[in-house]
Amino acid sequence: MATACRRPFFCLFAIAALLFFVSWSLLLDSTGTSNPAFDALPHQKVASILDTNLAQVQELDRCDPKNAILKVFMYDLPPEFHFGLLGWKPEGESVWPELTNKIPDYPGGLNLQHSIEYWLTLDLLSSRIAERTSPCAAVRVTDSRNADVVFVPFFSSLSFNRYSKVIPPAKVSRNRMLQDKLVEFLTSREEWRRSGGRDHVILAHHPNSMLDVRLKLWPCMFVLSDFGRYPPTVANVEKDVIAPYKHVIGNFVNDSSGYDDRPTLLYFQGAIFRKDGGIIRQELYYLLRNEKDVHFSFGSIAGDGIRQATKGMHSSKFCLNIAGDTPSSNRLFDAIASHCVPVIISNDIELPFEDVLDYSKFCIFVRASDAIKKGFLIKLIRGISREEWSSMWKTLKEIEGHFEFRYPSQRDDAVQMIWQAVARKVPAVRLKMNRYRRFFRFPLKEGTETFPESSSWLRTQTPDL
């Protein structure tokens, strides 16, 4: 992180110095004052100096594979696993869209919140384009032996959302068929046999994505929204990465609203009656519904729902983020985009990039057992001073870029923050791989089960983390 963070300051300094140099010379010319340093140089030389400085600044904003922190090998899976799910059809032999032409659109609505698979795949594909004019954290390599990780470009969340129903006369859903085909493909590959899958990155951001085969892929590094529907031996914070949802409400652009410009104290709009950990939503509804400056109501994205939620969050000081069917929800990232201080009530939540971001500087955390005590939550929120709120509001505006998904990716946006999180797992992955390979040169005797090179062996192992 430290290395990545120094460059923006250098760019800023270089641009500021360049602008000062030019403006100073123009000022001297306009006042008729002579500049000895400029007078001593031919105009061509001055132009050359300015062009060189500008080129150096622009070079820092290009994707340079030598400066990428992560080298990634990506399987050339058939389009049915990725862009084909969007209706895209290849032209010629390439399995990937030509990014210099129109990029396939991703469906809107709630599909967008789990679209990380789309953004990360696009980012890898563009990392080798010479014309790319933005920096990159990860770069695609063609030889898996030179890679830090192996990326599996299966759009699993989209597959679940669109193709999880069985359509007769088929006996299984398209989603289940793709999962089974993926396992068969992976376990037949040299890259998998070499690592037992431990350096493979699997995207399963929707809580129900990869549901049928996740137990078979337990050695992999999963990129998830939370661990709510995974046993700890399959997914855990030590080996896996938590990624943000893509917010679905609009950004608060040019937000100058102060404490008094947000009339609603506490805001929640969404599904109230949930199961599992989300039962607390119902209890909080009955506790807060009659508070005069609290908005707590049912809502969805249907109809005018997104516009209403955007307006509501933009005019609220605090926004509730309560556990639903799983510990996390998109509401947290909607609140961040709205600069509405999140109030998180979810005991088991895991947060993206928490090893480098201190969420306590821009969020309020409340234990579920305390939140349902009569009067506790509203008293806590009313007790937060204008100064405390303003400090958190300013911090939200500073960090919101870390949760923005962009193509091409920009420095330290959500795409690059995910790659950085993956890179921080690489030393632990290498340790596991080296331990895994200890006895590779001593195969078992003929007639016995083969050693880990066997794909059947890999399919039947249980997690040992």
Query: Would the pLDDT of 352 be above 60?
Result: yes
Whether residues 55 and 145 fall in one domain: no
pLDDT at 189: 97
Six token digits for residue 136: 């990159």
Flag whether 249 is in a domain. Answer: no
Q: Supply φ then ψ for residue 91, to 5 degrees.
A: -115, 120
Tokens matching residue 58 = 């622009």
- Mean pLDDT, rounded, for 259-286: 85
In this prediction, residue 62 carries a pLDDT of 81
Is residue 80 located within the same domain as residue 55? no
State whether 234 and 309 are in the same domain.
Answer: no
Q: Is the pLDDT of residue 448 over 60?
A: no
Tally of domains within the chain: 3
- 75 and 129 share one domain: yes
Q: Which two tokens stand for residue 314?
A: 């933009």
| Structural domain that includes position 307 | 259-403
Residue 164: is its pLDDT beyond 90? yes
Using one digit for the tens of pLDDT, what is the confidence trace for 13-58? 454 544 444 444 444 444 444 444 434 445 555 445 444 444 443 4
- What is the full DSSP assignment across 27-69? HHHHHT---HHHHTS-HHHHHHHHHHHHHHHHHHTS--GGG-S
Eight-state DSSP code of residue 331:
H
247 within domain boundaries: no
Q: What's the rounded mean pLDDT across residues 79-106?
A: 94
Take residue 296 and report the two structure tokens written for it: 């707590």
CATH of the domain at 306: 3.40.50.2000
Q: Is residue 445 part of a domain?
A: no
Sign of CA dihedral 87, 88, 92, 93: negative
pTM score of the predicted model: 0.84
Please count the CA atoms within 13 angstroms of the CA of 450 that sit on its side-chain side: 9
92 with 48, same domain: the answer is no
Closest C-alpha among 414, 413, 209, 206 to residue 330: 206
Structure-model confidence comparison of residues 37 and 386, the more confident one: 386
Q: What band does 437 get if pLDDT is binned at 50, 70 and 90? A: confident
Q: Are residues 76 and 92 in the same domain?
A: yes
* Residue position matching structure tokens 């989603």: 175
pLDDT band at 463 (very low <50, low <70, confident <90, very high): low
Q: Using CB atoms within 10 A of its CB, is residue 436 exposed (0-12), middle (13-18) or buried (19+)?
A: middle
The span from the CA of 453 to the CA of 165, in Å, is 35
With respect to residue 424, please indicate whether it lies within any of the assigned structural domains.
no
Same-domain status, 123 and 215: yes
Q: Are 56 and 71 contained in the same domain?
A: no
CB 95 within 8 A of CB 77: yes
Classify residue 417: in a domain, yes or no: no
Highest mean pLDDT among 56-60, 324-328, 344-348: 344-348
Give burial (CB, 10 Å; 0-12/13-18/19+) of 365: middle
Closest CA to 363 of 398, 402, 318: 318
Tell me, yes or no, whether 224 lies in a domain. yes
Q: How far apart are CA 227 and CA 55, in angstroms?
A: 45
Q: Which of 149, 107, 142, 111 is nearest to 125 (CA)?
A: 142
Strand partners, 296: 268
